[in-house]
Chain A
Amino acid sequence: MTRDHIILEFKTFLIDIIGADETLLTVDRDLLESNILDSYGILSMTVFMEEKFGITIIPEEMTLENYRSLANLTDLVLPKLADKEA
């Protein structure tokens, strides 16, 4: 799965489930400061990532930095997918 594909999945989730405005979803936008993700959104995103990509997020990885942008979220997922495929 490519980086672009993962970002597209995130965008679809944020638009369809969280109700985010598509025009705001640039790769580096701060999702927390923009009020796109709140606590419920972060937890929903976590469940989404685990179910969609078949990965596990551990509590230590739930840092605000990891969830701050689409780029950071993708950086969190990519190595897990690589490990899974290895």
Chain B
Amino acid sequence: MNLLPLSDELLPAVQAFARENFGRNFILEPQFWKHWYHPPWSDSWNGRVLIDDNDQVQGVAMLVVVPAKFGNKNAHVAWFAPVAVSQKAQKVGAGAQLFFWAFRSLPLVGGISTNDLSAPISKLFGKRIGGIRMNRFISVHSADAKQIAPEASMVAVANAAKTKDVGPHSPLKADWHDKSLPDDYDDLWRRVRKNLDFTTDRTRDYMTWRYIDTPFQDYRLLSLRAKDNLKGMAVVRLQDTPQGQICRIVDVVAANKDATDVWRRLRVLLAEFGALYTDFFVIGNRFDSALEEAGFHLANEDSALGGLPHLFAPMEHRGWNGDFYMAGSLAKENDFWRDGETVFFSKGDADRDWPTQYDLDQRAIPV
């Protein structure tokens, strides 16, 4: 088996392999691949291909590579998205080459909520960050959310819906931005960035690429201001379902000192929109107390509230374990970043918020 970089020449064979091995929801549209696997900051395709002696594709590791802040360095973090190996190659352990290449050749390689197959491998090479996992927080806005909760969760959902008064109202003013970021966004990000050790570098260019230009997914951006001062930006996805509207806060940029006001305003605003509930997935603890003060509840899979569906299109609840691993040469050489207060990743990072087959069906996108 030979391991080759993904190239224009290999792309058709790799896409044919993806059609068979990446699962029925995987999107093969050229603009989707170009966007995610050949972003503006990459000179070439971000992927590696395992080729057998007959020039047949036997495995593929696709990587979403995004700019990151790592200590004082500007770096890139690569997220597996996804890795697949043919049964023939699996039998002789060829998939190891794909993982080993990534772990040893790249500076930062991440895995979120890894599955039963890849989790042991991530654990072997990556550093599991003590106490840091992908947590889910939920604010239930209406007792009607019970309709889509499993029976075991209904009481918890009803109780959470009673959480109305969560302290003083936020003084922040909210405005929607659909196609651009406000002019003063860069200053906000600079202020937030300086207190983080490890995070996706949420520059204007990155945010535009991720949330405005991303194909097949509609995000709405929300600015939160105190008078003229930008205190927070949130990226929101509102999803209509047969049971009602659900809201996901995909990303939030806010300084720690403003976080409680930002989260309180978000919660009230999204409740006013009529959403049954709002959730937010996050790695890192910096927003934990602000979320709780704003009326959000920790709702991981083992909790009653965690029974509320976390896939919205269509409504579905698949298992997830929230594990977070980071490997690669920079991660291995440094320990400073393993601090829950200064690491920050959200559902918008990696491939955690990609469109589903349902989303494509709504747009009549062929697959």
Contact = CB atoms under 8 A, between A and B. Distances in A.
Contacts of B101: 59, 62
A67 B93 contact: yes
Contact of A43 (B3, B90, B121): B121
Chain A's interface size range is 20 to 34
B124 A64 contact: no
Contact of B100 (A33, A41, A62): A62
A25 interface: no
Contact of B96 (A33, A35, A58, A62): A62
A67 B95 CA distance: 13
Contacts of B100: 42-43, 46, 57, 59, 62
Interface of B: 1, 3, 85, 90-97, 99-101, 104-105, 120-121, 124-125
Given A40-B120, A47-B124, A64-B1, A59 B97 contact: yes
Interface string A5-44: 0000000000000000000000000001101011111111
A38 B90 contact: yes
Interface of A: 32-33, 35, 37-44, 46-47, 57-59, 62-64, 67
B52 to A, nearest CB: 10
Contacts of A62: 96-97, 100-101
A64 B121 CA distance: 18
Given A43-B99, A46-B100, A59-B104, A64 B120 contact: no
Contacts of B99: 39, 43
